[in-house]
């Protein structure tokens, strides 16, 4: 049975098992930025700034996204190794005419590595990882510190504390109001 992919740390601990820089870059970029599949397919090296810290998507809703340090590392390696191609796409096939990856090609890469590294993920699961932390650009590849009282402050250990606290606060207010109305 595959290990579920619940946090960006699950991915960080397993990504070094992937032996292709293109695939590491593809997987880490989706997880770090939340790119839509068409944005991934149409991304070109020119869409990424010189220091690899931001990328600009095109299409109906252009976006500028920050690339986190762990994805930047893999992206840099892929840009160094990327074979020459007449196609402008960042992610290309490594065989044949080096054409841009199709949606099916991307899905096949994700399925292959999900099976190979025994980590349960797909495109949508990777994409949603970008939403599980309040500061995705602050993520870097490092070992988890021991869980302590400061763990709640560390966004890598909390599934978006910024999303959880308002809900808890609202629940407490509602419970207090119900308690007050029942005690009258």
Domain of 50: which CATH number?
1.10.443.10
Which structural domain range is residue 162 located in?
153-183
Higher pLDDT among residues 75 and 5, named by residue: 75
Say yes or no: 41 and 77 in one domain: yes
The first and second tokens of residue 96, run together, are 């044949």
Report how many domains make up the chain: 2
Say yes or no: 108 and 57 in one domain: yes
Question: What is the pLDDT, as a whole number, of residue 164?
Answer: 56
Radius of gyration of the chain (CA): 20
47-66 pLDDT, tens digit each: 999 999 999 998 889 999 99
Say yes or no: 97 and 123 in one domain: yes
Say yes or no: 46 and 128 in one domain: yes
Q: How many CB atoms lie within 10 A of CB 60?
A: 6
Q: Is residue 145 part of a domain?
A: no
Higher pLDDT among residues 169 and 72, named by residue: 72
Question: What is the pLDDT, as a whole number, of residue 26?
Answer: 95
Mean pLDDT of 168-173: 68
- Would you place residue 141 in the very low, low, confident or very high pLDDT band (cuts 50, 70, 90)? very low
Q: Is residue 104 part of a domain?
A: yes
Beta-strand ranges (E) seen in the chain are 3-4, 54-56, 64-66, 119-120
Q: Is residue 146 part of a domain?
A: no
The first and second tokens of residue 50, run together, are 């010189």
Say yes or no: 160 and 133 in one domain: no
Say yes or no: 92 and 163 in one domain: no
Say yes or no: 44 and 107 in one domain: yes
């Amino acid at each position: 049975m595959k290990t579920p992919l619940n946090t960006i740390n699950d991915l960080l601990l397993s990504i070094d098992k992937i032996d292709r820089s293109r695939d590491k870059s593809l997987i880490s970029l989706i997880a770090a930025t939340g790119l839509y599949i068409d944005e991934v397919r149409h991304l070109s090296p020119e869409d990424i700034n010189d220091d690899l810290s931001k990328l600009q998507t095109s299409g109906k809703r252009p976006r500028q996204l920050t690339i986190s340090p762990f994805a930047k590392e893999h992206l840099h390696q892929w840009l160094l190794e990327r074979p020459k191609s007449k196609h402008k796409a960042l992610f290309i096939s490594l065989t044949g005419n080096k054409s841009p990856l199709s949606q099916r090609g991307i899905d096949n890469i994700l399925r292959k590595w999900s099976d190979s590294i025994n980590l349960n993920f797909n495109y949508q699961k990777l994409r949603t990882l970008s939403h599980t932390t309040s500061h995705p650009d602050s993520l870097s590849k490092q070992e988890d510190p021991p869980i302590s009282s400061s763990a709640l402050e560390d966004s890598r250990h909390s599934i978006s504390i910024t999303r959880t606290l308002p809900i808890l606060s609202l629940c407490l207010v509602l419970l207090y109001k119900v308690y007050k109305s029942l005690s009258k």
